[in-house]
Structure 1
Amino acid sequence: MRKIKILFVCHGNICRSPMAEFVMKDLVKKAGLSDQFEIASAATSREEIGNPVHRGTRNKLKQYGISVDGKYAVQMTSADYRYYDYIIAMEQYNLRNMERFVHDDPDYKVHLLLDFTDRKGDIADPWYTGNFDETYDDVLEGCKGLLAHIRREIACDL
């Protein structure tokens, strides 16, 4: 069976996108679906490349028993567009910065995370807001919606 490949993207790959990566990994693990997914995250910028996950994200996820050990910021590449099935941005600004990698999104792989919820919009960057609780709540809601969407798509393909 072919794995479903998801890439979460934000500006620096130290707050929101790794939060989404590890929340989604936790959700699919709890659903018994880990072997059917490959999940990663990346940045649109080079500012944080090689840096570990922000302590605010690490601390928030630790509250739920989710570890981000071994994760360091990487930058998205054009090859990622060909490789991943879903490329999920945290905000409109990320979409604009991703244009050089996704080239008008001919395969309709690119979405905002909150597009998979009842309320569309951007996920606030806790680097600026300091509110990792709000970011976590939004990321969790978005990841649950994305997983439900994918499960519906898989059911339709059977």
Structure 2
Amino acid sequence: MINVLFVCLGNICRSPMAEAIFRDLVQKEGLENEITADSAGIGDWHTGKLPHEGTRAILDKRAISYQGITARQVRPADWDDYQYIVAMDENNVNDLSLIREKTEGTKVARLMDYVVDAEEVNIPDPYFTGNFDYVYELIYQGCNQLLDQLKLDHHLKTRSGLDE
């Protein structure tokens, strides 16, 4: 099983959006028995809360489920449980290195690192900007490219039965 953890500052806007989008893409490819996704925040301010209303609205508009997603804080054990920890921005990557330095067996990267010729390297926080549509577009692009990379790296077969 390939386990992916998406991380942002508070785990109510960007990372739960990424988790929901990624889970949706994984399911559409028929890879839900091969890949799991979760999300967490650097801080604990929103632990137990649902995604932000702006995140829920954008996901509802696109019929993407966020059922079962509630905020939690990153914990050192996540490096043992996830092969991929995918941060939304460089600050998140830096904060992750303060939580746990050793990352043996776990790849820590920004989501936009998976996008070839990305116009943005960091996904802006819509909690502060209010621009959930733009953030959705970036995250959707990143999740698509991440999934493509996982299919390639792990020789996964999609629902169509073709090797990627």
TM-score normalized with structure 2 length:
0.89
State the partner residue of 2:64. 66
> C-alpha distance in 2, partners of 1:22/1:10?
14
The answer to which of 64-73 and 101-110 deviates more is 101-110
For 1:32, which of 30, 33, 41 is the aligned residue? Answer: 30
TM-score normalized with structure 1 length:
0.93
* Percent of residue pairs bearing the same amino acid type: 38
How many residues of Structure 1 are paired with residues of Structure 2 in the alignment?
Answer: 155
State the partner residue of 1:124. 124
The Cα shift of 1:68 comes to 1.5
Which structure has the highest helix share of the two?
Answer: 1
User: Contact 1:44–1:97 at 8 Å: present in 2 too?
Assistant: yes
Report runs of 4+ in structure 1 exceeding 3 Å deviation: none
State the partner residue of 1:138. 138
User: Contact 1:81–1:101 at 8 Å: present in 2 too?
Assistant: no
Q: State the one-letter code of the partner of 2:108.
A: V
The answer to which of 121-130 and 103-112 deviates more is 103-112
Gaps of 5+ in 2: 157-162
Matches within 5 A, 1:58-137: 58-118=56-116, 119=118, 121-137=121-137
Gaps of 5+ in 1: none
The Cα shift of 1:48 comes to 1.2
State the partner residue of 2:16. 18
The Cα shift of 1:104 comes to 4.4
